[in-house]
Structure 1
């Protein structure tokens, strides 16, 4: 699930069970606000990092209030709600609207702290890192910027075994990559290039080509390679969509089908994401729903 603007975060989805809407909203509020600290406004990099450091302080305080280390989830059966509900107060009161409800959600649903810290590290990285040397460094970023969202959702759903987490990671990384390939031009104007530098070199595509929006055979081969790898990731995680029950499973199948559909649209445009940024319309949603129901 993409962190950047949360196109795939099911905050307002009618398919999300009512009892999960509040905790999902609280997690979203935390992630959205921290992402905005990293990306929005005219603050300097040191100011942004300082604000995110305050977020980290609050996460560690939440963990210490629960009597556990930041890399530990709550032990099964541990009653933490009362300690969070009455004992936790943010050091910075301006952060109270974010962290008081988040602390209560973490306690009530026994969520691990690590995914929240991982998200924070990715937001900090956004401030200074604008290029990725190879696929490994890009996937490491996705593991912290996208995968934590899926992992937290699985904990809310009560399905967080090793296989489910592995499948969720594949889906979330795949969706993050879909957003990157969809937004090559948008990201370029933010001085960000998510295409691995070694892949650009291997295919003979320069950043000058990106700036000029050159739709060359080399570019088509490069993006075609990325699209194929991303599709394989989404398919590898797809078994999870059948493990989750009812509306939750349908929600996830629609999300996966949305990512796959955008990849199709990129191919149909002959990889011209410069002038033909793929967006999902009514016909796409009909196709996605049909595929989600039969696959």
Structure 2
């Protein structure tokens, strides 16, 4: 079969069928097909680039990794589901309570909330004995952001990205049985690179969330007001702010790629391809984060993912 972008996308879609019917190993109660399907679909809808990368993982890793990413999506999109801050905090509290329920001693599936992601996460945590701390970081970091609504400095933003993105990589490495300091180090840099890139992507959405994602120290340094960001005003000064964040993201990406990690970790770090792709597109736009071309999905990304996976590189 000719390896065109269309055929690669078709291949990845066919792979999803395998994911939907996968069973979590050594568990007495098999995963419900509808629940796994739900987890896969919300990741596909809200985290498409990571969805594609997850489909290219080895068969044993796909389902549990999709469940972890689905949990992250559910937390991350709390703000998308309501404009009421109190309602958002209530939704976040649901996940706080659910995580506590999952880690209760002698807990059973029947006592976990009847939410597809919650139930699948309980099964994965039961089998793989995932440390609670990294899943807890995903909730805590976003709760703090919902209250603060801004980042004081680039260092604050990097700390947030380590807690909200790197923690996902730490968890998936645990699922894969990769307990390696070099892999953790690479995961930290990659998570920061991805988090910074995500922040740049989210700037045009600032007005919707009434939140300024650009660190305050950069806004002050380049004389950009919060109103300019909220109103999506492109300017040379705004591009200078984006440039500094993009440089930091690229530096973390380079550092991650230079680290020698176990072979199994390479497939887990495959989203590095998408990060690099976005940063290159942003550079072509002269760091104008409001350029409409940045919102379009890359038609060649599935093809690049596929070949990088064949090479076992990221």
Q: How many residues align?
A: 268
Separation in structure 1 between the aligned mates of residue 52 and residue 302 of structure 2, nearest angstrom: 18
Alignment-derived partner of residue 60 in structure 2 = 19
Q: CA deviation at 1:219?
A: 2.3
Separation in structure 1 between the aligned mates of residue 291 and residue 152 of structure 2, nearest angstrom: 26
Tell me: CA distance 1:52–1:182, structure 2 relative to 1, closer, same or farther (3 Å).
closer
Q: CA deviation at 1:126?
A: 4.1
Separation in structure 1 between the aligned mates of residue 95 and residue 303 of structure 2, nearest angstrom: 41
Separation in structure 2 between the aligned mates of residue 233 and residue 208 of structure 1, nearest angstrom: 29
Alignment-derived partner of residue 269 in structure 1 = 285
SS at match of 2:46: coil
What is the root-mean-square deviation of aligned Cα atoms in Å? 3.0
Q: Is residue 90 from structure 1 mapped to residue 131 from structure 2 by the alignment?
A: no
Contact 1:15/1:251 (8 A) holds in 2: no
Task: Please report the TM-score for the alignment, with normalisation by the length of structure 1.
Answer: 0.78
Structure with higher helix content: 2
Alignment-derived partner of residue 196 in structure 1 = 215
Offset from partner CA, 1:235-261 (integer Å, 9 cap, x none):
11124585333xx624634x2122112
Q: CA deviation at 1:116?
A: 1.2
Which aligned pairs between 1:1-295 and structure 2 lie closer than 5 A? 5-10=46-51, 13-36=54-77, 38-42=78-82, 44-65=84-105, 83=106, 87-90=108-111, 93-95=113-115, 97-239=116-258, 243-245=262-264, 249-250=266-267, 252-253=269-270, 255-278=271-294, 279-283=296-300, 293=311
Offset from partner CA, 1:151-197 (integer Å, 9 cap, x none):
11111111122221121011012111112112321233322222110
Separation in structure 2 between the aligned mates of residue 212 and residue 256 of structure 1, nearest angstrom: 30
Q: CA deviation at 1:215?
A: 3.5
Separation in structure 1 between the aligned mates of residue 51 and residue 189 of structure 2, nearest angstrom: 18
Offset from partner CA, 1:188-240 (integer Å, 9 cap, x none):
33222221101110111222333454433322322212111110011111245
Q: CA deviation at 1:43?
A: 6.6
Range 17-26 or range 7-16, more displaced: 7-16
Range 165-174 or range 121-130, more displaced: 121-130
SS at match of 2:103: helix
Tell me: CA distance 1:230–1:35, structure 2 relative to 1, closer, same or farther (3 Å).
closer
Q: CA deviation at 1:115?
A: 1.2
Task: Please report the TM-score for the alignment, with normalisation by the length of structure 2.
Answer: 0.74
Contact 1:261/1:288 (8 A) holds in 2: no
